[in-house]
Chain A
Amino acid sequence: MDRRRIEENIFKGLMIVSTIALCLILVLIVAAITFKGLPSMRLSMITQTPKGGFYLGKEGGILNAILGSIYLAGGATILALFLALPVVLYLNLYARRNGSIVRLVRFCLDVLWGIPSIVYGAFGFTIMLFFGLRASLLGGIITVALLILPIMCRAMDEVFSMVPRGLLEASYAVGATRWETALKVVVRQGLPGMITAVLIAFGRGIGDAASVIFTAGFSDAVPNSLFRPAATLPLAIFFQLGTPFPQVQNRAYASAFILTMIILFISITTRIVSRKYTRHIIK
């Protein structure tokens, strides 16, 4: 065998090894969290809020954090959707194709996408100081909405730019305005993609800790108002892991297991939804 083939085979081998390694890491992460978290799972973890002395190893659960995270990520996703949908419709229907405005907005969104969540957290905190807001569910929702806005826009932009040009022209040809085309053709055609985008953004929102550390605060109660501080799952994991008590640390692993399962559930649902509904779309 000549040297070229040997070199090729060596590198091909390395490539396969690194690809397998990456997939294996995913399995390892999920496995490690599961093995460590599952033994400490109790039903009370997901049905109770922390009782007194929870962080010293006493009774209770993390219902406050689970609900807090869902409220926070849910609110942020809805808020971000109301901002992202007009932006993406504007980019794909109203503005001139590939005009300088479109390019500028896309560029800004790409750059915003790269800004770390801790910076969003600090910015959210600055806004809250400006308006005199305390750390609260509302502050967290606004901050996380800003964080997931570029993620949602990019995902939906990709979907809407795939809508066939002919479909739009057919709609214009029968006399529909751009607004009617947007609502009745583009949104309907892009619905599965939109659901995917919303789920991706929700998953990102529920898992992010650095942006809510300043803005949402932490509380042992389930938030009952937008102006109350709210606990979040990632922060609950972080705080429990930070205590010196093995029993509480074990609960942190159990909480991490819960969060991982939520994320996996969202990811898999995303996949199923996008596969199931793309069938009803005009290609």
Chain B
Amino acid sequence: MNIRVYKDKITARLMGVIAFLSCLILVLIIAGLYYRSRPVLELKPFLELLTSGSWHPLRQEFGFYPFIMGSLWVTGVAIIMAIPLCLLTSIYLSEYAPGYLREWIKPLIDLLAGIPSVIYGVWGVLVIVPLIKDTIAPRVGSFSSGYCVLSGGVVLGIMICPIIIHVSLEVFRAVPRELREASLSLGATRWQTIKQVVLRKARPGIMAAIVLGLSRAFGETMAVLMVVGNVPRAPGSLLDAAYPLPALIANNYGEMLSVPLYDSALMLACFILLLVVLLFNIVARIVLIRIERQM
């Protein structure tokens, strides 16, 4: 056989194997984390671990409830903040803004996406925390150190904007031009067209974009860790400190090997995080793939 053909056959095999291996990473991550978290799961049933509020690693009590609530609170604030901001911006960029403006703003949003989370954290400490401590908390008549759910949520809300906008813009672009033109030719204004045609058609895709943002917020570690206070108690208000799951994992890596089962509990926290994020991502991706196929 010709050596060139031979080379081609070998590389084809090799590349196929590497592509397959890259998929295998996903399976390996799930299996690896499950394997590491099994000792704790054998100690207590999964549901009890999720709903118990007592976190005393030295007494081998691992209740994840405060951390799950912390994650939910912070993610909730972030998404409530990000949705209007992102929707308005992406509608403006896709429907109203002239081409040159879009070409200017898109790189800026990419830049926002490229800023490391630790920088967002430093910014939160510098700007958001004092703002909440000195201005917002006294105004609502309560006290807060500034390191609280609200500051975590605000910082996260900004961090997830680029991804939501990016996906939303793709979704809007997938809405056929003819639909808009049909609506406009019936005498609808541009805003009416957006409200009743474009947004309706784009709804599943926008939901997917929001879910992707949600999962990004749920797993974000460094920025949240720096501004959220890290008190292992379920927060009761926006101005309470919280302790989300990723912060728990990152904060305790140092001592986790010196306390029995502690590392296993932290890996279980990782595993829970992974399951939630996987679920969100798979659902969102399936929706987005459907939309892409319609194009």
Chain A residue numbers with a CB within 8 Å of B249 are 118, 122
Min CB distance B113 to A, Å, is 10
From A56-64, A202-210, A221-229, the one touching the partner chain is: A202-210
Are B7's CB and A22's CB within 8 A?
A: no
Please pick, from A22, A153, A209, the residue contacting B112 in the complex, using a CB distance under 8 A.
A22
Are A7's CB and B274's CB within 8 A?
A: no
Size class of A's contact patch?
A: 35 or more
Chain B residue numbers with a CB within 8 Å of A19 are 88-89, 92-93, 97, 105
Q: Does A276 contact B (CB under 8 A)?
A: no
Min CB distance A205 to B, Å, is 10
Q: Does B278 contact A (CB under 8 A)?
A: yes
| Given A90-B18, A108-B26, A126-B267, also A23-B118 (CB < 8 A) | no
From A28-36, A42-50, A163-171, the one touching the partner chain is: A28-36
Size class of B's contact patch?
A: 35 or more
Chain A residue numbers with a CB within 8 Å of B84 are 18
Chain A residue numbers with a CB within 8 Å of B215 are 114
Q: Does A177 contact B (CB under 8 A)?
A: yes
| Given A90-B16, A116-B273, A264-B111, also A259-B118 (CB < 8 A) | yes
Min CB distance A231 to B, Å, is 13
Are B115's CB and A116's CB within 8 A?
A: no
| Given A94-B15, A267-B110, also A111-B282 (CB < 8 A) | yes
CA A215 to CA B15, docked complex, whole Å: 28
Q: Select from chain A the residue with minimum beta-carbon distance to B215.
A: A114
Are A32's CB and B123's CB within 8 A?
A: yes
Min CB distance A109 to B, Å, is 7
| Given A118-B219, A210-B246, also A263-B282 (CB < 8 A) | no
Are B190's CB and A15's CB within 8 A?
A: no
Of B26, B110, B120, B122, most buried by chain A (CB within 10 Å of CB) is: B122
Chain B residue numbers with a CB within 8 Å of A22 are 85, 89, 108-109, 112, 161, 165
Chain A residue numbers with a CB within 8 Å of B218 are 116
Of A108, A118, A126, most buried by chain B (CB within 10 Å of CB) is: A118
Q: Does A21 contact B (CB under 8 A)?
A: yes
Please pick, from B5, B226, B289, the residue contacting A107 in the complex, using a CB distance under 8 A.
B289
Are B274's CB and A238's CB within 8 A?
A: no
From B28-36, B52-60, B61-69, B176-184, the one touching the partner chain is: B28-36
Please pick, from B127, B190, B216, the residue contacting A28 in the complex, using a CB distance under 8 A.
B127
1/0 per position for B1-41, CB-CB distance to A under 8 A? Answer: 00011011001101110111111011011001101100000
Please pick, from A109, A178, A213, the residue contacting B22 in the complex, using a CB distance under 8 A.
A109
Please pick, from A87, A204, A238, the residue contacting B15 in the complex, using a CB distance under 8 A.
A87
Q: Does A281 contact B (CB under 8 A)?
A: no
Q: Select from chain A the residue with minimum beta-carbon distance to B24.
A: A108
Min CB distance B124 to A, Å, is 10
Are B119's CB and A83's CB within 8 A?
A: no
1/0 per position for B77-109, CB-CB distance to A under 8 A? Answer: 000000011001101110011000000010111
Q: Select from chain B the residue with minimum beta-carbon distance to A110.
A: B285
CA A19 to CA B88, docked complex, whole Å: 8
Q: Does B125 contact A (CB under 8 A)?
A: yes
Are A119's CB and B192's CB within 8 A?
A: no
Q: Does A55 contact B (CB under 8 A)?
A: no
Are B15's CB and A209's CB within 8 A?
A: no
Are B108's CB and A23's CB within 8 A?
A: yes
Q: Select from chain A the residue with minimum beta-carbon distance to B22.
A: A87
Chain B residue numbers with a CB within 8 Å of A259 are 116, 118-119
CA A114 to CA B19, docked complex, whole Å: 18
* 15 more A-B residue pairs beyond the given contacts A8-B190, A12-B96, A95-B16, with a C-beta to C-beta distance below 8 A: A4-B191, A5-B189, A12-B92, A15-B89, A19-B97, A19-B105, A114-B215, A116-B218, A118-B219, A121-B250, A122-B36, A126-B35, A200-B114, A210-B221, A263-B116
Can you list 11 A-B contacts (CB < 8 A)?
A8-B190, A18-B85, A36-B126, A90-B19, A114-B281, A122-B267, A126-B32, A234-B116, A253-B126, A260-B119, A263-B115
Interface positions of B (Cβ within 8 A of A): 4-5, 7-8, 11-12, 14-16, 18-23, 25-26, 28-29, 32-33, 35-36, 84-85, 88-89, 91-93, 96-97, 105, 107-112, 114-123, 125-127, 158, 161, 165, 189-192, 212, 215-216, 218-222, 226, 246, 249-250, 253, 266-267, 270, 273-274, 277-278, 280-282, 285, 289
Q: Which 4 A-B pairs have the closest CB atoms?
A: A116-B219, A207-B116, A15-B92, A8-B191
